[in-house]
Chain A
Amino acid sequence: MRRISPWSTPALVVSAVVITFVITAVPILAAGANPIEAYTAFVVLPLTSQFTALEVLVTATPILLTGTAVAIAFRAGYWNIGAEGQLLLGAIAAAGIGTLVGGLPPILALPLMVAGGAVAGAAWAVVPALLRVRFGIDEVVTTLLLNPVALLLVNGLLHGPWRDPVTGFPESPRIAASAEFPTLIERSRLHVGFLLAIVVILAAWYVLARTPAGLRLRATGLSPHGARFAGINVGATILGAALVSGAIAGIAGVSEVAGIQNRLTGGLSPGYGYTGIVVATLGTLTMPGVAVAAIFLGDLTVGASSAARSLGIPSQLGAVVQGVLLLTTVALLALRRHRARPSDPADTGSAGTDDIAAEVTA
């Protein structure tokens, strides 16, 4: 069913950004700064030097991956809100494997770490997925609850068996040199993880748009009942989407450990899993959209941390912008849908039907 929409999706997303900037001008004014100057610092300044522009890509790397992870799950009608925990499990796996593969050449060590992180992320996603598919237990709550558990696991390892024996700091031992992701460009932090993220997102785009598995996934998300009627194994499709989603979030954790931290640390992720939800929504659950949204949020994050220093605006404003952006985007998507179909009250009826996916894939 094709609907005529008054707004194109890019115009809608740009409007969401503009409305967000109007709303978040309030806290900027409260911090005693000029909003115009602040937004210039957030959005434009990071792109004006080569170093900061590359930092934007560095910051975009983990959220490209978590955004892809979340988008895949949401498209299947599976509300994986546990990307944060799955990312941390991937990081744990990478930090563990990374210290053991010192004798191997990078060509073996790196794939081993990535695979290990993917398996760990998927393993963290499997229990909520099975509970949903087998017993109809809401995955939102179970995936959410596993996030603090994953963080406790990280901290438990760092305060227990993995505490740095030399310094006593709660940091795991440094991974082997052959396990570190090489940097792509000299005098920058841009590492192989960025290329990995690009490969993952291209693969996700191809599978979703061009393969029978992708069609089954999208059909399941739009209408599980319809999909079942068409002979699709809805349970298996959701389980598959959940595991792939967890695996990709796990790879985001590997990328942060192998490319940035080179060890497991407590502050490894400032909420990249939750930012993945912002990226996926802002990208309206399409892979090109996710790519643009991740780079935009990377830009904003780099800008926010430099504005914290230069303009005295606390960098936590970045989180405020993310939250408001999420709200304005879903609000505009909902308004557009209701405008397009003013009298169809029951269209979100079945529990798995996803209004964002329904919104963009019509």
Chain B
Amino acid sequence: MIFLVDLVAATLRNATPLVYGTVGETYAERSGVLNLGIEGTMYAGAFTGFAVAWATGSPLLGLLAAIVVGILAGAVMALMTVTFGANQHVSGIGLTIGLIGLSEFANRLIFQGGELQRIQPMPTVNPLAGAGELGGIFDQYGLTWVAFLVVVPAAWWVLQRSSFGLEIRAVGENPEAADAAGVNVARTRYLALIIGGALMAIGGAFFTLALLGSFTLDIIAGRGWVCVALVIFGRWHIGRGVIGALLFSLIFSLQFRLRILPEFAGLPFEVLLALPYLVIIGALALSGRNVAYPGAYLKPYRRS
């Protein structure tokens, strides 16, 4: 029982950054832009959040700083792909390389490669603290509560039910028609990328501000790429993407617990750590066959 409660709690906790990242990437891709800057945006969010929280003593200010960086990263991606109409794959990789480089550059300048600095991480909030064993499931960070109770429903509602969401989907499916109907294609894509960037950066900041309380190199370790895969796995739907994030996180959290069992004692832990990545590739192989991409995926839009 303790094992299960612990596993469910860890699954929700570890899914949190993936939920932010996957929702953010869904917004970008629904507007027609593949944002491979996600890995770097999460990385910069993790670093900026940590550095500002360390300097000011306030994780909340750290989170705000991470959001600002995410907005800037989304805006740069929009400048590249919407204004310049540049290749989306290469722009995204360039953004990721540049943002990881900048974060490590600033890390070196500020902390001089000295001993690992720590901050007081954000506390967990448990409304059901007295509810016995099962209550442990609800012992979660504020950002986890916000992710599942606010961001996911709000992001779904905006995308599927609001007129702004309709505009995002319209410019991602058929920008010519959206333009003819009076939608400002460039503005809509900018906004989608900026919202997406902010969410990605929050996902990254979750590692340093909540989960770990410190910043280490390679802290994102490909989880941005996992989010890109989850968007395809979820076929560009928020709900299905979140289910994918929970499944990935379940396997991730499970392998973490398998490591301590005697049966796996001889196995280097890296083998188990690789498991979730392989599972997501397998899941894509099974579910990602000939999926319908957004109609204007990868295509810049120019008025003729």
Contact = CB atoms under 8 A, between A and B. Distances in A.
Given A131-B285, A136-B289, A156-B274, A323 B99 contact: yes
B87 A355 contact: yes
A351 interface: yes
Contacts of B240: none
Interface stretch (A147-155, A184-192, A229-237): A147-155
A264 interface: no
A12 interface: no
Interface string A138-161: 101110111111001101110110
Interface string A113-137: 0000000000000010001000111
Interface string B275-304: 001101100110011100100011111111
Contacts of A127: 281
A274 B97 contact: yes
A331 B80 contact: yes
Nearest to B176: A345
A10 interface: no
Given A135-B290, A145-B226, A326 B274 contact: no
Nearest to B36: A140
B136 interface: no
A356 interface: yes
B271 interface: yes
B300 A348 contact: yes
B258 interface: no
B229 A153 contact: no
A145 B303 contact: no
A116 B232 CA distance: 34
Interface stretch (B52-60, B104-112, B160-168): B104-112
Query: Size class of A's contact patch?
Result: 35 or more
Q: For A81, A327, A351, which residue has the most chain B Cβ atoms within 10 angstroms?
A: A327
Given A338-B85, A345-B302, A148 B98 contact: no
B289 A137 contact: yes
A316 to B, nearest CB: 4
B222 A27 contact: no
A81 B228 contact: no
Contact of B105 (A81, A145, A317): A317
B208 to A, nearest CB: 18
A327 B91 contact: yes
Nearest to B102: A320
A73 to B, nearest CB: 11
Interface string A311-332: 0001011111111111100110
A153 B226 CA distance: 18
B278 A149 contact: yes
A108 interface: no
A31 interface: yes
Contact of A147 (B85, B104, B222, B293): B222
Interface in B248-278: 267-271, 273-274, 277-278
B95 interface: yes
B221 interface: yes
A31 B280 CA distance: 41
Given A152-B270, A330-B90, A319 B290 contact: no
A345 B177 CA distance: 13
Interface string A336-361: 01100011111011010011100000
B98 A331 contact: no
A281 interface: yes
A89 interface: no
B272 to A, nearest CB: 9
Of residues B222, B267, B293, B297, which shows the largest number of chain A Cβ atoms within 10 Å of its Cβ?
A: B222
Contacts, number: 186
Interface string A30-53: 110000000000000000000000
B299 A348 contact: yes
Contact of B101 (A320, A333, A335): A320
Contacts of A319: 97-98, 100-101, 104-105
Given A136-B290, A278-B97, A330-B80, A148 B277 contact: yes
A277 B98 CA distance: 13
B270 to A, nearest CB: 3
A203 interface: no
A316 B268 contact: no
A79 interface: yes
Contacts of B270: 152-153, 155-156, 159-160
Interface in B194-251: 221-222, 225-226, 228-229, 232
A334 interface: yes
B188 interface: no
B225 A141 contact: yes
Contact of A326 (B90, B222, B304): B90
25 contacts: A30-B109, A31-B105, A31-B109, A136-B289, A141-B229, A144-B36, A144-B225, A145-B281, A152-B270, A156-B270, A160-B268, A277-B90, A317-B105, A319-B101, A322-B97, A323-B94, A323-B99, A323-B102, A326-B93, A326-B98, A334-B300, A335-B85, A343-B302, A345-B176, A346-B299
Interface of A: 27, 30-31, 79, 81, 127, 131, 135-138, 140-142, 144-149, 152-153, 155-157, 159-160, 271, 274, 277-278, 281, 314, 316-327, 330-331, 333-335, 337-338, 342-346, 348-349, 351, 354-356
Interface of B: 34, 36, 40, 76, 80, 84-87, 89-91, 93-102, 104-109, 176, 221-222, 225-226, 228-229, 232, 267-271, 273-274, 277-278, 280-281, 284-285, 288-290, 293, 297-304
Given A137-B289, A146-B277, 13 more contacts: A141-B232, A145-B229, A152-B273, A319-B101, A324-B94, A325-B94, A326-B98, A327-B91, A331-B84, A335-B84, A335-B85, A338-B302, A356-B90
Interface pairs A-B: 8 shortest CB-CB:
A323-B98, A319-B101, A326-B94, A156-B270, A148-B222, A160-B268, A314-B108, A323-B97
